[in-house]
A = this chain, B = another copy of it.
């Protein structure tokens, strides 16, 4: 399994990284995540070069991490700075330190060439830091390759059939989309005028009648899907204030067969309403668990039938374009490696 290496991935929520080291697998490699006493978030290869015990079993000491087995101590750059009981430190005593940047409430990790790790490439998620937005958030782990989760998020026609309890309505699958793309993104737009609001929208937006609703789904590689969605009252109430949301989906492959889905649901209304934050968190976790049940089983069929090609419908055009972008980038990565 080849992953796109030279991209920023979410290693986790920044708040997950504390003085107690966290073991996490990213692009099928083990990473020890921890925060130094000075507050710096650090990601080291989770394998002590001495006896290969995971460093995530260790303890933070000042600006360093001490291995929990024989006490070798490493600085934030992965250099061994102490071997207990021994004066000299062998040059081989070092581990890879992955570039790690905290921004937009996430800790972003760079698994590829460190020299290429430009923080300006981190996707912009201003809604998570803005005073006029509030958000709910969470993480769900799927037992599938991340490609199936991308499919799921890019083609929202499934919400009609899977998520009637929360975000789906009959009109979503019926409404044609406008799909556009360039080399670096895919955009799928759906406008539903004079339509029933979903259960979640009805509750969030206090809608009493029909609405004009939109979804603007933007995929950017390697695996982000940002959805600009919202609704305003239709018909007699037109002109009244509606709701505006961003469903932020930051996807990180854990292994070829498992995937982290870090999600946030940002809103521009009821900013101080903690019960709304809680309600949305629960509704979205319910929604994504409805997906998980399907796509984890989907993966089992996909694994068992390597020869079977999926059948693409009209609604899959965005999915197809997104796959093409990923495949092109993988080819380019292969070629760069072959020439290196």
On A, residues with C-beta under 8 Å from B are 30, 46-47, 49-54, 57, 66-71, 83-86, 90, 92-93, 151, 155, 157-158, 160-162, 173-176, 293-295, 297-298, 301-302, 304-305, 308, 310-311, 313-315
Contacts and interface: CB of A to CB of B under 8 A. Distances in A.
Contacts of A68: 161-162, 294
A158 B310 CA distance: 50
A85 B174 contact: yes
A161 B69 contact: yes
Contact of A53 (B69, B70, B92, B298): B298
Contacts of A313: 50, 70, 83, 85-86, 90
Contact of A301 (B30, B86, B308): B30
A52 B175 CA distance: 23
7 contacts: A30-B304, A47-B305, A53-B297, A54-B297, A68-B294, A71-B158, A86-B314
A311 B90 contact: yes
B157 A301 contact: no
Contacts of A69: 158, 161-162, 294, 298
B301 A92 contact: no
A304 B28 CA distance: 10
Given A54-B297, A69-B294, A84-B157, 20 more contacts: A47-B301, A47-B305, A49-B311, A50-B311, A52-B305, A52-B310, A53-B294, A53-B295, A54-B298, A57-B294, A69-B162, A70-B158, A70-B315, A71-B160, A71-B173, A84-B174, A85-B173, A85-B175, A85-B313, A86-B313
